[in-house]
Amino acid sequence: KGLKIIKQKNNFEKRCTWRETFRKNIIKWDNLIFDYVTTSKKNVLRGLHFQYKFKQAKFVSVIKGKIFDCVVDLRKSSKTFGKSFCIELSEKNCLSLYIPEGFAHSYYSHSDLNIIYYKLSNYWHPKYEDGLIWNDKNLKINWPSKKPLVSKKDKELKTFIEFKKKYGAF
C-alpha cells in the first residue's frame, strides 16, 4: 500500500538519449528534498535499510544498468505490514518506484555497472539507520542470487522478528 510505479520515457537521437527522472507535478504526494546517486557492481546486494528516526520516502530510478528492487512494509497500521514487494528497475524499462516512509529498502545489481538515482523526503542520518537481514526466511523474498556480495554491516542486520521486538513497528 502506498507504493507507486512511474513509467518514464527514454528519448533518442543520433547524438544522445535523455529521460526526465522527476516531475513535481506528477510526484506531488511528498516533499522530496534530497538527491543522491549510488553505483553498484554486478551481484551486489544492498539493504534492507531504513531510518527509524527522520524516516524517508524514496523515489528510485535506474540511470544505467538493471536492479532487482525490493521493499518491506514496516508500518504496523498497514494491511501490508511485513509484506515485501519487488520490481525490476532498469535503464531500458524506464520504471521508477516511489516508496513512502515506513519501508525497508534494498536492491540487487544485475549489470556490471548500475547507477541508481534517489530523491528523498529527508536527509541521510547514519546514526539513525538500521535494517533487516536480506535473507530472512520470514520475508519470503526470492532474490536473483543465493550468494550475493553483501557488506559486513548488512550481514549483521536483524530479522523481521527481531525488528518487531525492538521497534514494534513504524
Catalytic residues: 49, 118
Give the separation between CA 109 and CA 126, rounded to whole angstroms.
23
Give the separation between CA 120 and CA 95, rounded to whole angstroms.
17
Strands (E), the chain: 4-7, 11-12, 17-18, 34-41, 45-51, 58-64, 66-73, 84-90, 95-99, 103-109, 113-120, 129-131
Helix (H, G, I), strand (E, B) or coil at 28: coil
Give the amino acid at 120. L
Q: Which three cell numbers stand for residue 19?
A: 529521460
| Cell 530479522, located at residue | 159
Give the separation between CA 34 and CA 32, rounded to whole angstroms.
6
| Cell 538527491, located at residue | 35
